[in-house]
Amino acid sequence: MTAAVFIDRDGTITHDIGYAHKIGDFKLLPNAVKGLKLLRNFKIFIVTNQSGIGKGFFTLKEFFNYNKEVLAELKKHNIKIEKTYYCPHKPEDNCSCRKPKTKFLKVAEKKFRIDLKKSFVIGDKKADVELGKNANCKSILVLTGDGKKTIKEAKPDFIAKDLMEAAKWIVKNDNQ
């Protein structure tokens, strides 16, 4: 069993412009690449809620094309993302895959032999922090994206200014 890091995409790795799906709008956040490189000894997954699909703001194809661009850019920096898990549903659909529900982490746990108790969730929203708690992972709130708005309502294990600071904390606290 191995430890993993489950990371929200929009607002944590990439700029969150609201329903990001146009390749021309894609931009990595400062220090995202450096932070991800520090996590090279972990299996890294993206876990993202994409209600814009369910709301009809963009198509599944547009999501896949945008995400493919994100993964290609990360690959240029020798960063491997094991898998992207995405929820295409609206919040009111009450599906089983929308964060903070743990479906995707449980799937990864089985498929990739992940030890969730030794794993981490990083994100900029309350749902990311709650996902970590619900799956018995350590949770980190980053102050990028919506993090500054979320800080009062989330109770993470650690608050980081960005993905780089989150990664440093993970490396320091791995196996503790």
**Nearest partner of 9 among 107, 124, 90, 114, judged by Cα:** 124
> Omega before 100 cis (within 30°)?
yes
* List 8, 128, 146, 162, catalytic entry: 8
- Positive or negative: CA dihedral 88, 93, 99, 105: negative
Q: Is 10 a catalytic residue?
A: yes
Direct distance between the N- and C-terminal alpha carbons of the chain, in angstroms, rounded to an integer: 16
**How many other β-carbons are positioned within 10 Å of the β-carbon of residue 133?**
18
| Measured distance CA(77)–CA(36) in Å, rounded | 9
**How many other β-carbons are positioned within 10 Å of the β-carbon of residue 51?**
16
Residues 6+ apart with CB under 8 A from 15: 25, 27, 28, 29
Q: Is 8 a catalytic residue?
A: yes
Question: Which sequence positions are flagged as catalytic?
Answer: 8, 10
